[in-house]
Amino acid sequence: MGRSSILDKNELQKRMNDAIRLTAPGQPIRTALDMIIAGHLGALICVGDTEHVLAAGNDGFPLNISFTSNRLFELSKMDGAVVIDDDITQILRANFHLNPDPSLATSETGMRHRTAARMSVLTDAIVISVSARRAVVNVYVKGKSYQIQTVSEIMSSVNQLVSTLQTTRASLDRALLRLTALELDDYVTLADITDIFSSFEILQQAKNELKFCIVKLGTEGKLVRMQLEQLAGESVDNEYDLMIRDYASDSSEENAARIRERFAEMSAQEITNAQRVAEVLGYDDLDEDSVMTPLGLRTLSQVSVVRDGVAERIVNEYGSLQDLMNDIRKDPERLVDIGVNNPTILADSLYRIQGKHGGAA
């Protein structure tokens, strides 16, 4: 897949997310949609790109009145479409008859949904279709549709995802403690890090799905957002990045970002395959029992006396965590030269971590 295709896909998803936010609980349009459903009405609503929307239809009533949820509800009692400006401040037309090109392909069956899908392909508008018979609301962006869910339906998915996050995070925390002990003992294998990368990806997938649920929940998603931050916030992302840099053949931040993208694209079977993980990290001819030597960025970041940027200088100086462990007692002044103000505390901290978790292996 070319880069332009990826950018197009990302832009489409961004626009769809914007459309979902527009129709999420707490938003004025969502209030009107709930009223329309409760009134057993149908509706066709075009938001934005008004020049092209108006060019694709005729008749109707020019209004140019301020937007309110109640007005949108009342105007939906008429046939035809309601046309709203980009900023959702003005209702421009009501009872407007849309005539999109009938040759535009769509998989929709109902006339109102077919018209909405075609209008979304023909224009850059967000098009909303409400089925009176089925009490279903579909949002269309460039032919792609999203069916609005109730808060209770979304929360059912949220509860499952939060449970997955909690279980995976607890398992990952245990695995990372064990990994720290293995790193300090210089006995990490490819199988060890493969299992952890797999857990990180499960966490990331659940996190992304939960983020999407938060978008759909609108103002109802505040508590879920707090849960997400607690279970898989920025600290988890930082630890994931540092672990990749610890074990990749190229430890740069740019390469770590590329590796994360590749891990995210891998199937569940691939991400648990040690050889495939090694290939993405930049190694050939490794098996799951191959010993891996970490730089030590992740472990050093856990020590309070290692300030921002100092871990980088330490690994640049020593080359690996094990070389640091071998030298730290013999030549502490070497650490002073690269910015560690308390080399003895650093040494004690690392040996204390090693002793505390030494039985984890």
Buried b (16+ CB within 10 A) or exposed e, 6-24: eeeeeeeeeebbebbebbb
How sure is the predictor about 355, in pLDDT bands with cuts at 50, 70 and 90?
low
pLDDT given for residue 303 in this prediction:
79
d(CA 196, CA 308): 25
| Positive/negative CA dihedral, 7, 11, 12, 17 | positive
Has residue 151 got a pLDDT over 50? Answer: yes
pLDDT given for residue 4 in this prediction:
40
pLDDT given for residue 331 in this prediction:
73
d(CA 1, CA 297): 34
pLDDT given for residue 70 in this prediction:
94
Least confidently predicted of 18-32, 164-178, 311-325: 311-325
Tens of pLDDT, residue by residue over 300-323, are: 888 776 776 777 888 887 777 888
DSSP designation for 174: H
What share of the chain has pLDDT > 70, as a percent? Answer: 95
Provide the CB-side half-sphere exposure for 9 (13 A, CA).
Answer: 6
Tens of pLDDT, residue by residue over 225-261, are: 999 988 888 889 999 999 999 999 999 999 999 999 9
For helices 151-184 and 190-217, give the axis angle rounded to 10 degrees.
Answer: 160
- Give this prediction's pTM: 0.80
Beta strands in 86-143 (DSSP E): 90-98, 126-131, 136-141
Tens of pLDDT, residue by residue over 57-92, are: 888 888 999 999 999 999 999 989 999 999 999 999
Higher pLDDT, 18 or 305: 18
Higher pLDDT, 353 or 125: 125
**Contact criterion met (CB below 8 Å) for 62 and 88:** no
**Type of residue at 239:** E
Has residue 35 got a pLDDT over 90? Answer: yes
pLDDT given for residue 27 in this prediction:
92
Among 126-130, 218-222, 310-314, 315-319, top mean pLDDT goes to 126-130
pLDDT given for residue 359 in this prediction:
42
pLDDT given for residue 356 in this prediction:
54
d(CA 163, CA 143): 34
Q: Quick one: tokens of 153? A: 């339906």
Tens of pLDDT, residue by residue over 45-66, are: 999 988 999 999 888 888 999 9
d(CA 295, CA 318): 9
- Mean pLDDT of all residues belonging to the chain: 87
d(CA 149, CA 20): 10
DSSP designation for 87: T
State mean pLDDT over 106-128: 87
Count of CB atoms situated within 10 Å of the CB of 299: 27
How sure is the predictor about 360, in pLDDT bands with cuts at 50, 70 and 90?
very low
d(CA 9, CA 291): 39
d(CA 177, CA 239): 12
Has residue 332 got a pLDDT over 80? Answer: no
Q: Quick one: tokens of 304? A: 């309070």
Higher pLDDT, 104 or 342: 104
